[in-house]
Amino acid sequence: GDLTMIFEMDENHLKTQESWNFYNESGKRISAKSLVFPLPPDTRRISVDEAVKGFKAAEDGSQIYATADLGPGQSGLSGAYLMPREGSTALHARTIPVHLQGIRVIIENVDGLKLETNVSQESRVRELNGLEFIVYDLGAVKAGQTLSLKFTGLPGHKTWPRNVAVALALG
């Protein structure tokens, strides 16, 4: 299969959208038990698109899993969640249960933003509606391999001034 991940920056987390395409060319059914997609730790507000059949999100935000075997042919999965970040850094690490021929990562282009990953990567900048985005094309990932994405240089605001203002107002 292949995977597209779109990250949108927010103050304390990254809004993440994923779109998976599966290509079962074996002619056999793939057991639902082997189609469990773990998410990064502390993921919140996980949702699977309503149009997607055969997949559900775990209530604790830990994973998306298949509710039915995957038949031959092409199928897909799409969903969204919030992923925490620490200041200017965000780490997205998880085990990928299926072989992926390629992964595309898209994030707004900001000065100083860098992506470190454990697979090969190429990048390019594209404009859409007046905004610039970095598109990273990552290499293949084998089933069972951990995919690690580390974003550094994310814009952020210090929260201590707001916390002090709230404490003073309460006092």
Residue 19, classed as helix, strand or coil, is strand
CA 21 to chain centre: 14
Residue 163's pLDDT is what? 56
To the nearest whole percent, how much of the chain has pLDDT over 70?
Answer: 91
- Considering only CA atoms, give the Rg of the chain: 18
To the nearest whole percent, how much of the chain has pLDDT over 90?
Answer: 69
pLDDT band at 165 (very low <50, low <70, confident <90, very high): low
Q: Over 70: is that where the pLDDT of 171 sits?
A: no
CA 162, CA 124: separation in Å to the nearest integer?
A: 37
Q: Over 90: is that where the pLDDT of 149 sits?
A: yes
Residue 156's pLDDT is what? 64
Report how far apart, in Å, the C-alpha atoms of 53 and of each of 2, 48, 93 are: 18, 9, 26
Question: Which pTM does this prediction carry?
Answer: 0.86
Contact 55, 98 (CB under 8 A): no
Report how far apart, in Å, the C-alpha atoms of 43 and of each of 10, 104, 146 are: 14, 20, 17
H-run or E-run covering 4 = strand 2-9
Residue 19's pLDDT is what? 96
Maximum Cα interatomic distance, the chain, rounded to a whole number of Å: 68
Residue 160 backbone zone (phi > 0: left; psi -120 to 50: alpha; other: beta): alpha
End-to-end CA distance of the chain: 56
pLDDT band at 42 (very low <50, low <70, confident <90, very high): confident
Tokens of 64: 């998306």
Mean pLDDT of 108-132: 93
pLDDT band at 58 (very low <50, low <70, confident <90, very high): very high
Q: Is 43 exposed, middle or buried (0-12, 13-18, 19+ CB in 10 A)?
A: buried
Does residue 97 or residue 157 have the better pLDDT?
97
pLDDT digits (tens, 9 = 90+) for 22-40: 998 888 999 999 899 999 8
Mean pLDDT of 93-111: 94
